[in-house]
Amino acid sequence: MPGFSTGVTAKTMRGVVLGALAIGAVLVAAPPASASHRCDREQEICYWRLAGYTGGSRAFTLEDATYANDYYDNLSPTKSLNETTSSYVNYHITKSYRVCQRVNQAFCTKSLYPMSAASDLRDKLWYDGIDMDNSISSHVVWD
């Protein structure tokens, strides 16, 4: 259409596009809030779906505010970690974790100390006396 103008120059559009690309690159390069992965390394906390370190695993190296978005490896159908963990190993040499009964790191009343493990969380109790089996929803790093 002759005479039609948006008032936006090519130079302005180029700046907008380059700025958006730069922001996208920063967002992609940022580490995930939940660094969860298959349990196969040292220096991480590992959770298993079932007692005896079986039934699929998931490992973390950072904090995680909710397990609703984390899933066990090698389980079909897929299963969220939220309130389904039955055993754990903390392979860290110096790092402790506080596990929480609620998402968003609420009611974090139990410590998982460095180089500790529990093959059956029915044998471990929260401070209110309830067993920890199938009741962990998040965790924080507790150095």
HSE-CB of 112 using CA atoms within 13 angstroms: 28
- The pLDDT confidence band at residue 117, using thresholds 50, 70 and 90, is very high
Give the pair of three-digit tokens for residue 60.
Answer: 């973390």
Q: How many residues does the structure list for the chain?
A: 143
- Residues 131-135: what's their mean pLDDT? 96
pTM: 0.71
**Nearest of 83, 100, 85 to residue 50 by alpha carbon:** 85
Beta strands in 61-120 (DSSP E): 87-90, 96-100, 110-112, 117-118
User: DSSP secondary-structure letter at 115?
Assistant: T
- Residues 1-14: what's their mean pLDDT? 44
Domains with residue ranges and CATH for the chain: 33-143 (2.60.20.10)
Alpha-carbon span 49 to 88, nearest angstrom: 9
- Residues 1-21: what's their mean pLDDT? 44
Q: Which pLDDT does position 74 carry in this prediction?
A: 78
- The pLDDT confidence band at residue 75, using thresholds 50, 70 and 90, is confident
What's the whole-number average pLDDT of the chain? 78
Give the pair of three-digit tokens for residue 9.
Answer: 């120059």
Give the pair of three-digit tokens for residue 109.
Answer: 């009343």
